[in-house]
Amino acid sequence: MTISQNRHTSISSAFIVLIFVAGLLVGGIATFFVAYREMSRLQGDVSNLKAEVSRLAGNQNVTYQNITIYQNNTFLIELYERVKDSTVLIQGTTSSGSVQGSGFVYNFTGTLIVVTNNHVVQNTQSLSVTFSNGDGYAATVLGRDPYADLAVLSVPDAPTSEFKSLDIVSSSTLRVGDQVIAVGNPYGLVGSMTTGIVSALGRTISEQYTGNFLIADIIQTSTPINPGNSGGPLLNFAGKVVGITTAIVENSQGLGFAVPSNTIRRELYSLITSGSYTGHAYLAIGGNDMTYETAQNLGVNVTFGVRIVNVIVPGPANSAGVAAGDILIGINGTRMRNMDEMSSYLVEKTLPGETIIAEIIRKNGTLQKLEIQVLLGTRPPPP
């Protein structure tokens, strides 16, 4: 082999080695790039997981903080300081003596008023409102509705600075178990505060000023309420009005009642501008709650609803063909378990002049389920 051939062979070998080394380098770079991308992706996933864990931990801390606030007595002290100047003492004279109750200040689109119960001002010959600072002024009734036990007062001589208004929010969000607060003047003890829970919703109560009509859609509460509390605000734990305390059951332990704020909001405009409220729908029936025992006695298998015992003539139900002995089990597709639910539905969901579908069980030899259209009337004026 010549020198030229040896040199050519060495160059070829070197070239092959160079190609091999280049291949290793390219492969290494490619492998590193793939590994780098995978590591970056994994690091991103880890960062996302850390952010999610941090977010969950933050939410958990907020929950614990809320619980701490609600259980902290300092919170109630601060809330009382915010609302105490909005509650007033109402005093009046009647032909038989004197009356007193509570009320709260509200700003209705620029009109400063005091909201209270109708039974606090019923048959009064003179009225006064005393604010928390002790300043008292003569008051007049702007409007009242015995069927909802609501009244609105004007205090024309009081300066604007006296009126520390509360906010009224929807009572639709209330649930049994919600914590509530009552502020009022029980037995004349001005500015008293009590706490409790919502113990039931959709109750009905009766007052001597409503004739045979029930006051419906009432909040039941364990918050202690005593004579003199009537007309004071029932507040949620944000200090907003969700009701107005109105009645107690004598000799009961922690059983009070309040008109819901939805009723107040619905009626205020009419009470202020016209002095009354005429939006109570009228079905014109009387009845009793169905029970298992009643169903057994009647020979029917319906253990819920309202057994109609009388139909007022003339009246909307009578005109539609509803009869005594019928069992009302639903309105507009909503199940009616008892009188409370029927009365509350009519108050909350209907107005005079609307047509409802009454679902009736009628025993006429055999049981029949009927759907009867009833054009609701307007409740007669209070007695």
Residue ending a domain, choose from 261, 295, 326: 261
Choose among 189, 197, 79: nearest CA to 132: 189
Q: What is the mean pLDDT of residues 20-35?
A: 51
Section 205-210 average pLDDT: 83
Say how far apart CA 347 and CA 115 lie, in whole Å. 20
Angle at 59 between CA 57 and CA 61, to 5 degrees: 70
pLDDT digits (tens, 9 = 90+) for 175-199: 999 999 999 988 888 889 999 999 9
* 330/244 same-domain check: no
- pLDDT per position as a tens digit, 313-329: 999 999 999 999 999 99
Pick from 25-29, 128-132, 338-342: least confident: 25-29
Give the residue from 100, 134, 162 where a domain finishes. 162
- Judged by DSSP in three states, 244 sits in strand
pLDDT tens track for 275-305: 999 999 999 999 999 999 999 999 999 999 9
Cβ within 8 Å of residue 225, ≥6 positions away: 182, 184, 186, 194, 245, 247, 248, 256, 257
Of the residues 195, 227, 261, the one at which a domain ends:
261
Q: What does the block give as tokens for 246?
A: 């109105």
Sort strands 377-378 and 150-154 into parallel, antiparallel or unpaired.
unpaired
Q: Is 129:155 a contact under the CB 8 Å cutoff?
A: yes
- Residue 39 within a domain: no
At 256, which CATH number?
A: 2.40.10.10
Say whether both 311 and 247 belong to one domain.
no
Q: What CA–CA distance (Å, rounded) separates 3 from 44?
A: 61
pLDDT digits (tens, 9 = 90+) for 49-100: 444 444 444 443 333 334 334 445 678 899 999 999 999 999 999 988 899 9
Q: What is the Cα–Cα distance from 133 to 248, expressed in whole angstroms?
A: 28
Q: Tell me the catalytic residues.
A: 119, 149, 230
What would the two tokens of residue 71 be? 């259980």
Q: Up-side HSE of residue 12: CA atoms within 13 Å toward CB?
A: 6
Q: Radius of gyration of the chain from Cα atoms?
A: 36
Its pTM surpasses 0.85: no
Please determine, for residue 353, whether its predicted confidence score (pLDDT) is greater than 90: yes
Where would I find the H helices in the chain?
A: 3-71, 73-83, 118-121, 261-274, 292-298, 316-320, 339-349
194 shares its domain with 234: yes
Number of domains in the chain: 3
| CA–CA dist 215, 373 (Å, integer) | 25
Residue 319 CA, chain-centre distance (Å), reads 35
Amino acid identity at 103: G
At 75 the pLDDT is 85
- Amino acid present at 318: N
In this structure, the number of other CB atoms found within 10 A of the CB of residue 376 comes to 21
Q: Which two tokens stand for residue 273?
A: 């501008």
Q: Which tokens is 234 given?
A: 């029932």
Question: 3-state DSSP call for residue 52?
Answer: helix
Same domain, 157 and 206: no
What was the pLDDT predicted at 48?
A: 54
Average pLDDT over the chain, rounded to whole? 84
d(CA 274, CA 352): 18
Same domain flag for 241 and 304: no
Q: What's the sign of the alpha-carbon dihedral 185, 191, 196, 200?
A: positive
- 121: containing domain: 87-162
Inside any domain, residue 1? no
Residue 294 lies in a domain: yes
Residues 243 and 318 reside in one and the same domain: no
Instruction: Please list, in sequence order, all residues whose beta carbon lies within 8 angstroms of the beta carbon of residue 134, skipping any fewer than 6 positions away.
Output: none
Residues 243 and 325 occupy one common structural domain: no
**Residue 3 scores a pLDDT above 70:** no
Bridge partners, residue 377, by sequence: 282
Examine residue 318 and state whether it is found in any structural domain, yes or no: yes
Does residue 361 surpass a pLDDT of 70? yes
Rounded average pLDDT over 20-41: 52
Asked if 157 and 183 sit in the same domain, the reply is no
Residues 297 and 340 in one domain: yes
The CATH number linked to 316 is 2.30.42.10
The answer to the question of residue 16 being in a domain is no
